[in-house]
Amino acid sequence: MKDTLRPGIRASHTFTIPTSKTVPALYPEAPEFVAMPEVFATGFLVGFLEWACIKAVNPHLHWPEEMTLGTHIDVSHEAATPPGREVTATVELVEVDGRRLVFTVEAHDGVAVISRGRHQRHIIQRDQFLARLHASR
């Protein structure tokens, strides 16, 4: 990690929600999901918030040799967002504890705040992580 990785880093990331990121698309194998309304799925919302955090810190890492993996998320999903609407995530790195990073996160769909909370990520050395993963199988 670079010396610039410190609390206070902020970033915003915007994405237009396609039908492929709605609840029926989350698990198309599950009839229970397929029957649900086409709104931004919580599972995809979590990934979107992670994406914003990754984009915030990558310039402060030796990427792609170093990268981050999500280890904890505690967020709300407060409003339904239909496909076609633009969603913006705003994130801030609030704590750096060794390789553990803690972010506050919030997402807005132009009508309402749809999510807010906290997310943790850990910095990994990609090659070392993959070697340990393959050795454990």
CA dihedral (132, 67, 53, 24) in degrees, to 10, reads -50
Using CB atoms within 10 Å of the CB of residue 17, give its burial: 0 to 12 exposed, 13 to 18 middle, 19+ buried. Answer: buried
CA distances from 98 to 6, 44, 53, 66 (A): 11, 28, 17, 14
Residues taking part in catalysis: 42, 50, 77
Cβ–Cβ under 8 Å, residues 92 and 57: no
DSSP three-state, residue 115: strand
